[in-house]
Amino acid sequence: MVSWNMKKCVPHGTSPTTPIPVRLKVIAGAAVVEPSDPGLKAALDHAFEEPAEPPFRKTKAVVVVHDGRVIAERYADGIGVDTPLLGFSMTKSVINALIGLLTQQGLVTPSMTAPIAEWRGADDPRREIEIEHLMRMTTGLALDETNSGFDLSSQMLYLYDDMAAPAVKAALIAPPGTRWAYSSPSTQILARIIRDIVGGPEQTLAFAWRELFNPLGMRDVTLEFDATGTLHGTSYMLASARDWARFGLLYLNDGMIGGRRILHEDWVDFSASATLDTDYGAGFWTNRSEHEHAKGRVRLGIPRDAFFASGDLGQRIVVLPSQHLVIVRLGDSVDPTGDIRGLGRLVSDVIAATQH
């Protein structure tokens, strides 16, 4: 895979000395923000404490943003405010944003048929697959993710220079829009669509830098690309915990940055609305669902209107519109749920501390 650090890459039309236009208000100063509220301090204490027996929590970073400012944060030893941390599948939510930007700019729409040449045959049933089906993982393609090591999701990471190539060759096993299965290859196809629309790998990098990361003030970000120049859209973006929080603020603010709309006015609700009978939206997981997992998270104290980016080992950006909160938790939790109970306690403790 090819890797570029965003701080070291300059978009077309600029020079290394060109000021970078940041539209998001400053969320914190250079120093770690220690919580002044004892309830917030207790919330961080709980987030970092370890149980007596495995599975351990191994929290690396927590950042709490309320009303656009960091009000509490903590980092594990060796990690600071500018340490890039791997987001795993939170990267899929960034793909959502890039598709959203292209939609706002009139270059795509979720309802358009996916511009995949391999699916354009007159008798090919895959020609009916829409961009929204890829975003919601309802393509009907045989791309189910099992993490067995033998499924395409696992193989594309290690066996293919062009990670989208085997995905676009998959057979249709259900009508598009009728069946959901978690599928990293579906998101990788979206990454190829982004590359093709903007014109290549350098243009993809410049587009993300110019339209998303720069306006949000994200600086400590690294994107990775496969050997053909397609963004690794499923798993391997790195960013500091504060930068992940800045990304969450885009969705908390309904797609606005500094008074400028960069995502369509319906985009956030579209992204957070449940797909079929699941608790998955379009690039985000959601509590706006009747699914048992969504109801379980509500019982843990994560409000019904919440939605979140989620990655392996408990990487989370929780967006809480009714509370004006974004909560980021990053770590190495090997618990199969990514320590969802710990996340529930963190969220409920923070809400309690910010409501008084």
Number of CB atoms found within 10 A of residue 136's CB: 25
Tokens of 215: 């306006």
154 compared with 309, residue with greater pLDDT: 309
- pTM comes to 0.94
Q: What is the mean pLDDT of residues 4-18?
A: 37
**What's the CATH number of domain 2-6+32-355, 3.50.50.60, 3.40.710.10, 3.40.50.2300, 3.30.365.10?**
3.40.710.10
pLDDT at 20: 59
pLDDT one-digit tens code per residue, 296-334: 999 999 999 999 999 999 999 999 999 999 999 999 999
pLDDT one-digit tens code per residue, 194-233: 999 999 999 999 999 999 999 999 999 999 999 999 999 9
CB 5 within 8 A of CB 222: yes
pLDDT one-digit tens code per residue, 241-274: 999 999 999 999 999 999 999 999 999 999 999 9
What stretch of H or E contains 274? none
φ/ψ region of 151 (left if φ > 0, alpha if ψ in -120 to 50, else beta) reads beta
Question: Between the CA of residue 199 and those of 99, 195, 226, 229, 303, what are the distances in Å?
Answer: 14, 6, 16, 11, 41
Q: What is the mean pLDDT of residues 157-171?
A: 92
pLDDT at 356: 73
Provide CB contacts within 8 A for 62, sequence distance 6+: 44, 47, 48, 72, 73, 74, 241, 327, 328, 329, 330, 346
* All structural domains of the chain with their residue ranges: 2-6+32-355
CA dihedral 99, 101, 105, 109 (to 10 degrees): 30
Q: What is the mean pLDDT of residues 31-51?
A: 97
- Categorize the per-residue pLDDT at 275 as very low, low, confident or very high, splitting at 50, 70 and 90: very high
> Alpha carbon 314 to chain centroid distance?
13
